Structure 1
């Protein structure tokens, strides 16, 4: 049997303190979330409070003195406390208050897509059995409004799960009823059927009638933009075909996704974290603190601690527990205020170096002046870690005199021109975008031709690199850009 023995071993480990973790978390969030985070801290910590809106000379003096006074008493307070001064709430096994219990509060919400479908089903003239089958079909319709499962699979599910023998033909009849619901195109099994259901509800104009023929019989040619074949088959003019294509382009490929629900809309309002002003060529940077309140510690709680330190022998056990709780909240408030201050400082230092690095760009707003810049460049200039620069640049925006931009916009890789000059890849994408926007849409430029044009402009780029940049810009291939 192997022998067992105990031994001591010393190891040096790096571990983040709670204060450092708090700073990191605050550094990552943008201004909008910072405001919410501060409000949450104000609600949870009674020691923390906002500065008065009206200036008070005496109050300001007290606010300046509070942190220092507390620092001087931070250790002396511990000397006044006995070792057994442990609050009773820390000894309790179930340390929860009534406020900690989650209460479900009802609220009014908009009608969802599927709720609307069920409401319309209630108005349909169906018996009880068919209504159940229709509800089952609606349950298989996804949020985009499509029935992705085939009717045979649904028939098998009904047989196994609900012991209902239903044929595909019966389900198809019910599906036709559902496809008459709003929004138009709902219940379609593919894109072609979805567009056909919508075009059939339009007024029968010549353009709409031609569009219906194209969708029904030449959908493949339409998606591949083989317009010559469609022109020859229907013997129409280019203008007539263009009117029909415009009718198709007005249709919604995702009818369920367009359903109006105010709670599901993700209208993002961008609040800039930095404000940059150009005053006669001089750039002035500031943090956007419009909705971020200034914080301080409540002096009343400081007085309570002073009173305890002076009369510790004459207070009860409950009062000692209260004082320990207050001290904990004071520590938390001080850490939070320091973390906010450190966040502001780090943001300003990082953004100042980005502006200094890209000074020509920020003065003129000309994208061609944007230099190649990576996270390491700013990390070297600030002396901060690359991960810190990444956290600062993530989800942050700056407002300039020529627009609002995410900080990530200013970071890009570089390449050398034939002349040996180093340029940003963003400049190349800009030229690529201009070439495509000015091309003849009847004969769009292929990636090979785009690469040749860039080479003529002294940008030695391979065709696959052009394809990569084009995809990053969200631009389709030449065949899909073709127009009449």
Structure 2
């Protein structure tokens, strides 16, 4: 049986303006500047302030006091537009005035881009010194194009033969591709063009001056690569019937090799990210001072051309339909410009109050730079202090940097969980990880400490931690298990 019923449901939804504000808050300084330029292009009513001589203050647009009403198709009254809501006669917005909130970083600094030969172009240039026929050159260039940024060809010869036939119209066989691949593997840096790590290491060893340790190293890689990679040194000593010292010399030769030859190319033109700190913390007379990067506070105003169009419409007695449509367009752009300027102001306030709370929460650390003084701090701690949502604090901390007397730091690195030591005091997991890293660095590399022994050592130091927690912290520090830390 069908029934009809009414149900009331209360729900909250973010407005488009709120969503855009959250996106603005999340942006670091450089990305924010790019977003600002995009808005200036999209909204012709929004302009960056230039010199004061470029704009005249017009009192005619400062006398409107009525609230802004929605557009009426039948009648448009320009008196309903309060220009003051969109534009201050002062060329500098109120939130731009310099105080201790902004750093002296308003200079427009650009990073020059150095033109250089790319990794693959350098390989092609080297290839041009070889004497090859047309077919061989196409195959060689195809092989070079198959090399990844680390210097490897991670495809089978059969796949390359098939691709040459389909994409280049070159019908060849595996022995021919293998022969040309050997030529490609003669290019520099040594080891480029290898199909796996084992082949890469062998290519580099072949270019070394022959010696007993090099010969033994080649035998290790050729015949016992798996045992070597797993550091089964006892098995290797028995297999090759060598002394421990001889094996150590051979391993030292292998450790000198580059497992990623493509990554060592000096001219490799990867995008280099230049970090622009969003905040600066200074110590002045023993007190902490927080500064917000001045590049986060652009000077924006409504275009003077739009003011003149509004004045022209106001002075016209006979208003056409086209003029009414133009004024409607202007109103929409003024709304957008006003909101964007307000959003920038709110963004700066959110960034400042959040970082200010973090600075005072970690005051002991910022005063002397000792990481052991970093207090346990989670997002909720700061959110409760500033009265913001946890997600907002996360957006501020996620991709922002702060310039401190001890270097430029990623803000989210100051957040950590807490653990209780044997004295009942809460300590930061950052402190525990530092101690764990120090213990591992001081261990006997011939007998590395397994996780259960590391747990016992930290327990003796006053940090009762389970073995599985040690394993988790070790993985976060990118430290391998004891077997792979072993050295002969």
Which TM-score applies when normalising by structure 2? 0.79
Aligned length: 453
Q: Cα 1:345–1:164, aligned 2, differ >3 Å: closer, same or farther?
A: closer
Say if 2:252 is the partner of 1:285.
no
Out of 275, 279, 291, the residue aligned to residue 274 of structure 1 is 279
Residue 28 of structure 1 corresponds to which residue in structure 2? 26
Whole-Å Cα distance in 1 between the matches of residues 216 and 158 of structure 2?
A: 33
Whole-Å Cα distance in 1 between the matches of residues 218 and 396 of structure 2?
A: 52
Residue 420 of structure 2 corresponds to which residue in structure 1? 416
**Ranges in structure 2 where 5+ consecutive residues have no aligned partner:** 79-112
Secondary structure of 1:256's match? Answer: helix
After TM superposition, give the deviation of residue 299 of structure 1 in Å. 4.7
Whole-Å Cα distance in 2 between the matches of residues 303 and 359 of structure 1?
A: 52
Secondary structure of 1:377's match? Answer: helix
Say if 2:225 is the partner of 1:219.
yes
Secondary structure of 2:393's match? Answer: helix
Secondary structure of 1:313's match? Answer: coil
Q: Cα 1:81–1:47, aligned 2, differ >3 Å: closer, same or farther?
A: farther
Deviations 1:188-221 (A, max 9, x none): 2221111111221234466544543433344334
Say if 2:205 is the partner of 1:195.
no
Q: What aligned pairs does 1:398-417 form with structure 2 within 5 A after superposition?
A: 398-417=402-421
After TM superposition, give the deviation of residue 131 of structure 1 in Å. 4.4
Indicate conservation of the 8 Å contact 1:31/1:271, yes or no.
yes
After TM superposition, give the deviation of residue 397 of structure 1 in Å. 1.2
**Ranges in structure 1 where 5+ consecutive residues have no aligned partner:** 86-106
Say if 2:24 is the partner of 1:44.
no
Which TM-score applies when normalising by structure 1? 0.80
Residue 339 of structure 2 corresponds to which residue in structure 1? 335
Say if 2:307 is the partner of 1:302.
yes
Secondary structure of 1:444's match? Answer: coil
Q: Cα 1:329–1:26, aligned 2, differ >3 Å: closer, same or farther?
A: same
After TM superposition, give the deviation of residue 288 of structure 1 in Å. 1.1
Deviations 1:315-351 (A, max 9, x none): 4444333333332222221111100100011111111
Secondary structure of 2:430's match? Answer: helix
Q: What aligned pairs does 1:44-443 form with structure 2 within 5 A after superposition?
A: 44-52=42-50, 72-73=65-66, 75=68, 78=71, 82=75, 112-118=118-124, 120-121=126-127, 123-134=129-140, 137-138=143-144, 140-152=146-158, 154=160, 167-204=173-210, 208-227=214-233, 233=240, 235=242, 238=245, 244-260=250-266, 263=269, 265-290=270-295, 292-299=297-304, 301-309=306-314, 311-443=315-447
Higher mean C-alpha deviation, range 391-400 or range 223-232: 223-232
After TM superposition, give the deviation of residue 275 of structure 1 in Å. 1.2
Q: Cα 1:329–1:468, aligned 2, differ >3 Å: closer, same or farther?
A: same
Q: Cα 1:344–1:108, aligned 2, differ >3 Å: closer, same or farther?
A: closer
Indicate conservation of the 8 Å contact 1:134/1:178, yes or no.
yes
Residue 92 of structure 1 corresponds to which residue in structure 2? none
Indicate conservation of the 8 Å contact 2:161/2:171, yes or no.
yes
